[in-house]
Amino acid sequence: MSYGSNMARARLTCYLAGGRPPGARRQYPGARDRTLPREDRAVHLPGRLWFAGESTVWGGGIAFYDHDATGPTPARAYLITAAQLADLAAQEMHRSPAPGGPLEAALLAGIAGRHTAGPGRYETLVAVGRLDGLPMLTFTAPHGHADVAHSAPSAAYVAMIGAGLREAHGWSDAEVTAYLATVAPRDATA
């Protein structure tokens, strides 16, 4: 389940097949299984998108998802394997994909609710529901949006998120701009 820049298929493809997304500062090695998603669908998640910290890939704030906050959050559900999701998360944490990590073990055991596999910014797995009988899972920070100071995302990052909203949800430029203004104000606050 993707709620940020990975809503853009080209961005997600860099995590699976390897590559550098437009506007990013980093080359990704790709997943152990480079098969592209068999299916994807626009969805809305409960909760909200927010930005904090400083991205070494994009500059500016990093997108996170708070399942417990008021939403909804537009997202894109991709049909990928548990190992691919673990590899994607590893790359988000600036690690190389490898078998047997704590995220992969948790995914293979099955997740209900929330599971923290480590202290990193994307090592908290959240089960956000089911789609066609399959679990919808995403990863985020271990804390909520009210627990840390917010920071504004970079223009390149916002552009990638906007591309994903247009692709997945068919939103117009005006709809993208209006939504992003509510979750990523230029002058972020706590």
| Peptide bond just before 135 cis, omega within 30 deg | no
| Residue 96 located in a structural domain | yes
Q: The whole model's pTM is what?
A: 0.90
| Residue 188 located in a structural domain | no
Distance CA 87, CA 30 (A): 8
Quick check: 91 and 98 in contact, CB under 8 A? no
| Residue 190 located in a structural domain | no
| Residue 104 located in a structural domain | yes
Which domain range does residue 64 map to?
Answer: 5-183
DSSP string, 71-101: --EEEEEE---HHHHHHHHHHHTT----TT-
| Residue 71 located in a structural domain | yes
| Residue 78 located in a structural domain | yes
Q: What is the pLDDT along the chain (190 residues), one digit of tens a residue?
A: 899 999 999 999 999 999 999 888 999 999 999 999 999 999 999 999 999 999 999 999 999 999 999 889 999 999 999 899 989 988 988 888 988 877 777 777 776 777 777 777 888 888 898 999 998 999 899 888 999 999 999 999 999 999 999 999 999 999 999 999 999 866 544 3
The number of folded domains in the chain is: 1
**Domain of residue 10, CATH code:** 3.10.490
